[in-house]
Amino acid sequence: MFKTVFTEEDKKNLRAIAEELKDIRKLIEKLTETMVNLNDKKLLESFKATPNELNENKVLSYKETLQKQIDIAEKEIRSGN
């Protein structure tokens, strides 16, 4: 049977790696969300607007569009879909 011994430097490096992995995981989640949004044709269409629509305030803001998407996703989650 072998006993593994970590030096203080090893422990310090392992903690640093663990922190970096948390950050990497968050970045991957953000990237995944971005990719899902880029593949959502309805969402992308909502960002296209004619000058008349812009002048008449018929186009939702980016924040409003995202909030609508969040609301839809929450409804789907609650309904079990």
Residue whose tokens read 């790696």: 17
Residue whose tokens read 């409003």: 64
Report domain extents, the chain.
1-39, 41-81
User: Tens digits of per-residue pLDDT, 3-26?
Assistant: 888 899 999 999 999 999 999 999
What's the pTM value of the predicted model, to 2 decimals? Answer: 0.44
Give the whole-angstrom CA distance, residue 76 versus residue 81.
5
Does residue 2 have a pLDDT over 90?
no
Of 59, 37, 33, nearest to 46 by C-alpha is 59
As a whole-number percent, the residues of the chain with pLDDT over 70 amount to 78
User: Tens digits of per-residue pLDDT, 26-38?
Assistant: 999 999 988 888 8
Return the beta strands (E) in 1-81 as ranges: none
Identify the pLDDT of residue 60. Answer: 64
Give the whole-angstrom CA distance, residue 33 versus residue 1.
46
